[in-house]
């Protein structure tokens, strides 16, 4: 019998040993590559530190009470050094992934695999497509303490997009609106926020699928690019990402200030295809069916862009990948000087 994923076992064992919920166990272990012993050591060191701080406070204050430990954990991607409000964050990572919730086969187990991969990447911005209602309890339980979660109301759509933004980033505005020409319930989500000196605008969408809907898809793509153009400005990073279903021949001419992250990161061939039936056997399609459907476009102050693919390993005990798509993670690094 195939063994269960070591990360799942580590989460369950951590929760059992420490008597915390699996969400908190997941949060701690993600920083230690799901190494149980390292995670336990870090947890107990945190307890000792809290106990020492509480003891010192008790000794220095008459009739003071010992504070209970806050098991909600630190903010996501928090640094040991205090952020500088008048500077840009040193880096910011965005991950987009079509999680294929339409396929009910091994749905729960595959999504656990998705969440483990996401935790290892630990991005500030998470863009998920083809999410289904069965996914939402895990999203809220495991991610709700760390992320703003933007999802549509339960209006009967079989699948939808979910946008998650680190709570390090202050939310100013957020919206979800359907495209006027969609036949598939497709929407545009827009998030605006600030993080230190950076203004961040995220546009997230799952554009119309299939070749016969190319006209609608091209129009939707243009609407999203226009939203980026409307929000470009000083000290601003604008990002448009998702499963765009777009072909290079459908894009046409766009504002040269808006960059394709795969091209900006060096157009590496081993990271080109995100729906890759040569490497991903979930759909059983011919190996020559390889497309770069999942993309991230951007404009902003960061000088360096790294792009990587994730979810490229099969889940051993169920012999399939977390999704038929690979996740795309883009890290923006080396910001220029902010303008005051």
Given this model, what pLDDT does residue 317 score? 84
Where does the pLDDT of residue 340 fall: very low under 50, low under 70, confident under 90, or very high at 90 and above?
Answer: low
At 64 the three-state DSSP class reads coil
H helix or E strand, kind and range, residue 303: strand 302-310
Cα separations (Å) of 2 from 6, 19, 117, 319? 12, 28, 20, 9
Other Cβ atoms closer than 10 A to 7: 22
Give per-residue pLDDT as tens, 234-283: 999 999 999 999 999 999 999 999 999 999 999 999 999 999 999 999 99
- Summarize the confidence of residues 32-55 as an average pLDDT: 79
pTM metric for this prediction:
0.80
Nearest Cα neighbor of 238 from 224, 251, 249, 252 is: 224
Given this model, what pLDDT does residue 67 score? 31
Tokens of 68: 């209970």
Given this model, what pLDDT does residue 144 score? 93
One-character DSSP codes across 100-142: -TT--TTHHHHHHHHHHHHHHH--SEEEEEEE-GGGHHHHHHH
**Beta strand 259-260 pairing with 170-178:** unpaired
Percent of the chain topping pLDDT 90: 71
Tokens of 255: 């504002």
At 9 the three-state DSSP class reads helix
Give per-residue pLDDT as tens, 195-204: 999 999 999 9
Given this model, what pLDDT does residue 65 score? 33
Asked if residue 221 lies in contact with residue 251, where contact means CB atoms within 8 angstroms, the answer is: yes
Other Cβ atoms closer than 10 A to 247: 14
Given this model, what pLDDT does residue 339 score? 66
Other Cβ atoms closer than 10 A to 72: 11
Given this model, what pLDDT does residue 69 score? 30
Chain position carrying tokens 């020409």: 181
Tokens of 10: 């580590």
Beta-bridge partners for 259: 298
Within 146-234, strands assigned E span 147-150, 160-166, 170-178, 187-195, 198-205
Task: Tell me: pLDDT of 316 over 90.
Answer: no
Q: Which of 95-99, 116-120, 258-262, 300-304 has the lowest mean pLDDT?
A: 116-120
Given this model, what pLDDT does residue 59 score? 52
Task: Tell me: pLDDT of 233 over 50.
Answer: yes
Q: Which of 33-47, 69-83, 294-308 has the lowest mean pLDDT?
A: 69-83
From 5, 100, 243, 276, the catalytic residue:
243
CATH of the domain spanning 91-335, picked from 3.40.50.2300, 3.60.10.10, 3.40.50.1820, 3.30.70.20: 3.60.10.10
Q: Is 243 a catalytic residue?
A: yes
Q: What CA–CA distance (Å, rounded) separates 102 from 186?
A: 15
Where does the pLDDT of residue 73 fall: very low under 50, low under 70, confident under 90, or very high at 90 and above?
Answer: very low
Q: What CA–CA distance (Å, rounded) separates 124 from 206?
A: 20
What single-letter DSSP state applies at residue 282?
Answer: T
Tokens of 299: 């404009």
H helix or E strand, kind and range, residue 298: strand 294-299
Q: What is the dihedral of CA 261, 266, 267, 270, to 10 degrees?
A: -110
């Amino acid at each position: 019998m195939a063994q269960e994923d070591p990360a799942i076992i580590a989460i369950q064992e951590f929760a059992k040993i420490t008597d915390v919920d699996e969400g908190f166990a997941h949060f701690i272990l993600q920083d230690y590559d799901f190494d149980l012993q390292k995670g336990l050591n870090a947890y107990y060191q945190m307890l000792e530190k809290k106990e020492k701080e509480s003891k010192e406070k008790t000794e220095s204050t008459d009739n003071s009470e010992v504070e209970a430990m806050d098991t909600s954990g630190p903010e996501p991607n928090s640094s040991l050094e205090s952020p500088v409000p008048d500077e840009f964050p040193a880096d910011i990572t965005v991950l987009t992934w079509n999680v294929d919730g339409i396929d009910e086969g091994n749905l729960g187990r595959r999504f656990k695999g998705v969440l483990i991969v996401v935790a290892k990447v630990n991005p500030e911005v998470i863009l998920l497509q083809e999410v289904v209602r069965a996914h939402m309890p895990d999203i809220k339980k495991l991610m709700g303490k760390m992320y703003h979660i933007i999802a549509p109301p339960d209006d009967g759509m079989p699948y939808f997009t979910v946008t998650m933004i680190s709570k390090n980033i202050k939310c100013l505005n957020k919206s979800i609106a359907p495209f006027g020409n969609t036949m598939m319930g497709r929407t545009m989500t827009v998030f605006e926020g600030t993080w230190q000196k950076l203004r961040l605008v995220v546009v997230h969408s799952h554009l119309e699928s299939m070749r016969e809907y190319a006209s609608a898809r091209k129009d939707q793509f243009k609407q999203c690019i226009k939203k980026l153009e409307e929000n470009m400005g000083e000290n601003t990073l604008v990002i448009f990402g998702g499963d765009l279903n777009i072909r290079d021949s459908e894009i046409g001419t766009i504002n040269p200030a808006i960059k394709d992250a795969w091209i900006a990161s060096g157009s590496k061939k081993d990271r080109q295809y995100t729906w890759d039936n040569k490497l991903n056997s979930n759909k059983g399609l011919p190996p020559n069916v390889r497309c770069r459907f999942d993309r991230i476009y951007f404009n902003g102050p960061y000088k360096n862009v790294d792009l990587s693919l994730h979810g490229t390993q099969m889940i051993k005990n169920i012999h399939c990948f977390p999704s038929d798509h690979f996740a795309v993670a883009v890290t923006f690094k080396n910001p220029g000087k902010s303008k005051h």
